[in-house]
Every structure is written in C-alpha cells, then in structure tokens.
Chains A and B, each alone.
Chain A
Amino acid sequence: MAPLPEVDHRWSVRVQRAGDGHARAYARGQAFDVDSQASLRETDPHPSAVEYAIGALGGDLACGLQREAAARALDIHAIEVSLSGRLDNVLVHFGVVGEQGHPGLAAIEGIVYVGTEAPEAEVEAAWRATLARSPLFHTLTRCAEVRMSLRVMP
C-alpha cells in the first residue's frame, strides 16, 4: 500500500536571543538578525520584526511576479516594491497606560513598479495571478487592510 501523499509542509525557523535586545533567526542554512519588535529610531544595526513582516510581503510579491512573468514569457527589466505599514496603535506596543486599540499591523500600502515593454494587460494578468498565489498577501489581508497597486513603466 502506498503511503499517504504529502500535501502539507511545515517551514521551521529557530530564533535565539543574540544579546543587546536583538534576536537571530535561523532558517535552513541562513540566518538573519531582528533588532527589535518595532523601532522608531532613524538607524539600528538590523531591521525590526515589523519591517521584516512588511519586507516579507514585498519579497513574496516581487518573487511571485517574476515567476508569473517568466511563465508568460514577458520580458521584465526591473521590479521594485515600495511598501509602508502602520500599527493599529503603536503606543499600545510601547506600553502607554490608558491607550486603546492593539499593537498589530492595521494597514499596509504598497506600489509595485514594473519596468517592461510587454503589453500592460499581460503584466496586469501576471500581477493578478501573483496576488492569487501569494502566501503572505493572503495571510496579511486576513488581519490588516492591505492595498497594493501596480505601475507598469516602459
């Protein structure tokens, strides 16, 4: 009798305290440092957890669009995703007594700039397919208002 097919997969990440309040995450052979939960400082040695979350969405969409474009034989010169996000109430995260709301991401907005000579309608079709197959877009839209738009530039 054949074994049950594997239709599920779990990704594993290990995270350790790395001193000075930051953490190091290990995923397969790679590591990355998380400086804080959410930082307002101009500079830090590493991105914050909130920035990783927003950046992960951008990375997911940039990689996804690249794959969809390749599958459609669309010649893409460049993809750049510009994102910003805000918490429902950042002061709750900072522990301000008397503040209302929650410290979670409330909204993410972004623009995907695509440099291509390909017909715009075909790029838009690839973009729709990208969103439909994006793990992080589908995760984050369930808990935050996510608004992404596409700009096609020759």
Chain B
Amino acid sequence: MPKPVVVGAVIYDPKVVLIWDIIQTFFAGEGCPIDCVFYSNYELQVTALVDGHIDVAWNSPLAWVDAQRRTGGRCRALAMRDTDRDRITHLLVRTDSGIGALEGLRGKTVATGAVDSPQATLLPLHHLRRYGLVPERDCAVRRHDLLVGKHGDHIGGERDALRSLQAGESDAAALLDLNWDAWRADGTLDPSRIRILASTAPFDHCNFTVLDRFPAERAAEWTAVLFRMRYENAAHREMMDLEGLKAWLPGRTSGYAALEEAAHESGFFAEATR
C-alpha cells in the first residue's frame, strides 16, 4: 500500500470534518491514500507544513502568504477551487447614506470582519489606502473579531459587519461577493436599502500548498486524482457543494499580490509574531 500523503486542514466548523471524510474515501478508492490532520488555526498548520509534519496544506490566502514568507518563497500551489479565483470584496453603504464615493467615508466608520480575514478586513482596508484613506486615521474601523486564527473562513465576521451597517452603527461594511449574492437572494440584506459603494480588484482565495521538497511526481499523481472529482458524480457532489465548488483547477499564485501588500502595510505578521 502506498504511503499516504498527509494533508492538513483548518476546521472552522465540525461539518468540515465530513468534507474531509469524503475526500479521504475518494482518494483511497483511487489508490492514492491520504491522511488528514486537522488544526484549530492556520498559524499551527503553516508551522506544521514548514516543519514537515504535513505534505499538503489546504491554505487560506493569508496562510499561503505566511507560508511563502516563512520559507523564502519555496511554496507551490497545487490546486484550488474554481470559486477561489477572481473573488472581489464589496464595500457597502446604506442607500440613504448620501455617500457617493470612497472619499465620502472620511471621518466615518467602516465595519469589517476578523483581523485576519483577507476578504473582510485586510483587502478592503488595503483598497481604502489605495484611494487615499488611511484606516484608523481617516476613518474608524469597527472590527468583528470572530474566531480569529481561522482567517475568516466562516461568515460570522462579515454577517456581524453587515448587521452593524444595517443597524446604523457603521457607515460602510466589507462583504465578499459570494456573500453579497447569497444574502441578497435569501433576504439577509435588502438591496433597496444597501448598495455597493466600491469593489476591490479581483483576488484569489484558498489553495493546496506544498513546499518545494514535496516530490514532483507525487504532486502530479495527487493532483491528477483530485482533478478526477466530478460535480456530475453524485458521490462527489455532496462534498463539492459543502466546500462550494463545481471543479478543482490548477493552483495559480497570481492572485495574492494585493494581499501580500495588505499584510505588509498593515504590519499583520509583525503583530502576529510579537
């Protein structure tokens, strides 16, 4: 029996364990067994990857940036979900706010997700800086630090940021495009009361990360098996619906530049290591 590839994942909800149960069963059936190691936060997982305790890490975008930082750029992205590509974050305001441009947020309060959420905090605040607004100097930031360490994998921080906007406690809120679409559809937000003020440039989300020491032939075999998952196959669809994808795609690293800048300018990792 071939030696299993050890895959790390951060568990932000007990149901995520089911996703990995299905993936593990699928890989075993394809003759490419995997072992899963679960972590409570991305800092532990990146450390495990760097120290060689796991072969592959299912990394958030910030964990990817951290892994690259800690290894001097020796990471490779093997694969990602179709939905990880070209995400954007919207900055929302109330339709009756009278705010027509980002400049209108000067002196106002912007609601964000958790401190380590790329989509709900780091990238939208980076966007404000690009347009001349320095967070905490030119506008106040009302952060919603739910489950810090999980890099905003869950919707909690964004949901609370939206509520803060709806309740009039904040003047703007950051929301991932997927949540904007879902919450308009299910009535969580009313588009006649909340509108998009601005949007970030597209960025990429999670990826399966390996270090350069992971053998290329094992990486090729592993990704070949992953890409055999098909949404049309009912046995795979349950997992793909839970994880929010229709297809696995090759990993790309061109969508993380803005997050690298955001982490640098906010001193995120300097604070994390203090």
List residues of A whose CB falls within 8 A of some B CB. Answer: 40-41, 90-91, 94-99
Contact indicator A97/B39 (Cβ below 8 Å): yes
Cα A90 to Cα B38 with chains together (Å): 13
CB distance from B243 to the nearest CB of A (A): 15
Q: Which residue of the partner chain, among B14, B17, B41, contacts A98 with CB atoms under 8 Å?
A: B41
Contact indicator B15/A96 (Cβ below 8 Å): no
Given contacts A91-B11, A94-B11, contact A40 B41 (CB under 8 A): no
Cα A107 to Cα B40 with chains together (Å): 23
Smallest CB-CB A-B distances: 6 pairs: A98-B40, A96-B38, A99-B40, A97-B39, A98-B44, A90-B14
CB distance from A121 to the nearest CB of B (A): 43
Cα A97 to Cα B42 with chains together (Å): 11
Chain A residues with Cβ below 8 Å from B44 are 97-98
Q: Which residue of the partner chain, among A40, A91, A96, A97, contacts B18 with CB atoms under 8 Å?
A: A40
Contact indicator A97/B38 (Cβ below 8 Å): yes
Q: Which residue of the partner chain, among A91, A95, A97, contacts B14 with CB atoms under 8 Å?
A: A91
Chain B residues with Cβ below 8 Å from A94 are 11, 14, 17, 38
In chain B, what residue has the closest Cβ to A87?
Answer: B14
Chain A residues with Cβ below 8 Å from B37 are 95, 97
CB distance from B66 to the nearest CB of A (A): 16
CB distance from B106 to the nearest CB of A (A): 40
In the complex, per-residue mask of B34-70: 1 if CB is within 8 Å of any chain A CB, else 0: 0001111100100010000000000000000000000
